C-alpha cells in the first residue's frame, strides 16, 4: 500500500513456487519506495525452494511491514523480522494475529509437528443418519452443500476413505469444479480388498491415488502398481495403524488430509486423537431406521465426560442445508 492505494497483492499459489511477497512484488512495476506491506505470515529469510522474501522486500524499498503471525518454522521463527529491522525497515507484528492463525492452521500444524492436519467431513440427516437402512446415500444434502464440499477439497492435500466406502459407493473422490486441482486420493485398506475395476483404480494414472494396506496378495499388489496406484504398507498386527500412516504421509510432504469415510472408519480415526476439525453437513430430512448408518460408529466412549468437544463453531447456510464446523478439543 502506498499513499492510501493498494499497489499490488499476491499469495503463495503452490508448494515449491514463489511465496506471496515475491509474487506480489514481481508483478508490480510502480516505485514502492516507502510503501507499507501487510502479510499474514512472517516473510522468509532463508534460501529454500525459493529465494528469501526478505531480499526482495528490502530491494524494493518497502518502508514498513505489518505481520499477522510469526512463522513457527525453526528456520525463520522471528529471524525474518530481525533481518528487516537490521535493514532499517519498521516492523509491527501481531496484526489480526488470531485471524491470520486461522488462515494458516494447516501450515502451522504441519510445520510444527511434521504430521498432516486432519479434518473430518460427513453429511447426515436431522436424525443423524448418513444413509438409509439399505445403504442408499445419494444424496443426503443438496447441490449447494455438495458444491461446497468440492470447494473444500481444493484446500486439502489428500482425501481419505476406508475400504468400506469404496466397496459400497465406488467413489471418484475428485474435485469436480476445477481441473487439475484434485487432491491425492487415499484408501485405508488393511487387507487389500479394493477392486481392480473400481473408479479409483481405473483413474489412478490421471488422478494420484494411494492405497495403505497391512497385508496383501503379491499379484494384487503388482496389478495395482501397473494401474498407477501408490502403495504404502503399514502393518500393525494385520491392520493399518492410522497414526503411523499419518507420520508416513507427513514424511511424503502431505500437509493435510480430509477424511470422508463411513461411520466405522470415522470411529477409528477419532480414537487416534489426530482429528483437528469437523465439517458436519446437516440436511433437513428424516429417514429413521435403527439399522441406518450413523456418521461415527465403532465402540464409542463409555462416559459422556469422555466425549470429544467441538469449539469455535461456525454455522454456514448452504441452500436448505447447513454446515457446522469447529475445532476438536483433544483430551490431554
When computed from its CA atoms, the radius of gyration of the chain, rounded to whole angstroms, is: 23
Task: Check: CB of residue 186 under 8 Å from CB of residue 158.
Answer: yes
Return all residues near 99 (Cβ < 8 A) that are at least 6 apart: 68
The reply to whether omega before 268 is within 30° of 0 (cis) is: no
Point out which residues pair with 142 in neighbouring strands: none
Task: Check: CB of residue 273 under 8 Å from CB of residue 316.
Answer: no
Q: Is 21 a catalytic residue?
A: yes
DSSP 107: H
Return all residues near 3 (Cβ < 8 A) that are at least 6 apart: none
First and final C-alpha spacing in the chain: 44
Distance from C-alpha of 69 to C-alpha of 97, rounded to nearest angstrom = 5
Return all residues near 300 (Cβ < 8 A) that are at least 6 apart: 267
Task: Check: CB of residue 210 under 8 Å from CB of residue 229.
Answer: yes
Return all residues near 320 (Cβ < 8 A) that are at least 6 apart: 142, 283, 284
Any idea which residue has 516492523 for its cell?
A: 91
**Cell reading at 312:** 469455535
Q: Pick the catalytic residue: 9, 21, 178, 309?
A: 21
Distance from C-alpha of 23 to C-alpha of 25, rounded to nearest angstrom = 6
Distance from C-alpha of 275 to C-alpha of 121, rounded to nearest angstrom = 11
> Which residues are catalytic, by number?
21
Amino acid at each position: 500500500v502506498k499513499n492510501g492505494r493498494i499497489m499490488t497483492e499476491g499469495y503463495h499459489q503452490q508448494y515449491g513456487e514463489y511465496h506471496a511477497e515475491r509474487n506480489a512484488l514481481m508483478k508490480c512495476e510502480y516505485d514502492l519506495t516507502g510503501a507499507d506491506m501487510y502479510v499474514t505470515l512472517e516473510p522468509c529469510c532463508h534460501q529454500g525452494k525459493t529465494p528469501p522474501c526478505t531480499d526482495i522486500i528490502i530491494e524494493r524499498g518497502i518502508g514498513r511491514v505489518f505481520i499477522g503471525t510469526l512463522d513457527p518454522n525453526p528456520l525463520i521463527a522471528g529471524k525474518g523480522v530481525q533481518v528487516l529491522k537490521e535493514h532499517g525497515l519498521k516492523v509491527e507484528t501481531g496484526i489480526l494475529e488470531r485471524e491470520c492463525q486461522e488462515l494458516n492452521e494447516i501450515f502451522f500444524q504441519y510445520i510444527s509437528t511434521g504430521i498432516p492436519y486432519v479434518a473430518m467431513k460427513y453429511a447426515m440427516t436431522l436424525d443423524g443418519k448418513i444413509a438409509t437402512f439399505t445403504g442408499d446415500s445419494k444424496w443426503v444434502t443438496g447441490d449447494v452443500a455438495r458444491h461446497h464440499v468440492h470447494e473444500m477439497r481444493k484446500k486439502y492435500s489428500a482425501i481419505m476413505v476406508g475400504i468400506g466406502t469404496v466397496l459400497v459407493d465406488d467413489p471418484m473422490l475428485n474435485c469436480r469444479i476445477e481441473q487439475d486441482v484434485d487432491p491425492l486420493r487415499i484408501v485405508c485398506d488393511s487387507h487389500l480388498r479394493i477392486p481392480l475395476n473400481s473408479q479409483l483404480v481405473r483413474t489412478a494414472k490421471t488422478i494420484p491415488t494411494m492405497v495403505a494396506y497391512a497385508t496383501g496378495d503379491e499379484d494384487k499388489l503388482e496389478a495395482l502398481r501397473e494401474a498407477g496406484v501408490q502403495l504404502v504398507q503399514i502393518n500393525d498386527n494385520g491392520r493399518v495403524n492410522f497414526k503411523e500412516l499419518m507420520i508416513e504421509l507427513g514424511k511424503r510432504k502431505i500437509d493435510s488430509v480430509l477424511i470422508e469415510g463411513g461411520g466405522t472408519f470415522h470411529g477409528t480415526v477419532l480414537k487416534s486423537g489426530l482429528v483437528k476439525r469437523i465439517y458436519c453437513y446437516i440436511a433437513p430430512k428424516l429417514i429413521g431406521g435403527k439399522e441406518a448408518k450413523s456418521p461415527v460408529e465403532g465402540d464409542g466412549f463409555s462416559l459422556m465426560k469422555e466425549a470429544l468437544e467441538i469449539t469455535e463453531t461456525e454455522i454456514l447456510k448452504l441452500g436448505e442445508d447447513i454446515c457446522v464446523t469447529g475445532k476438536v478439543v483433544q483430551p490431554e
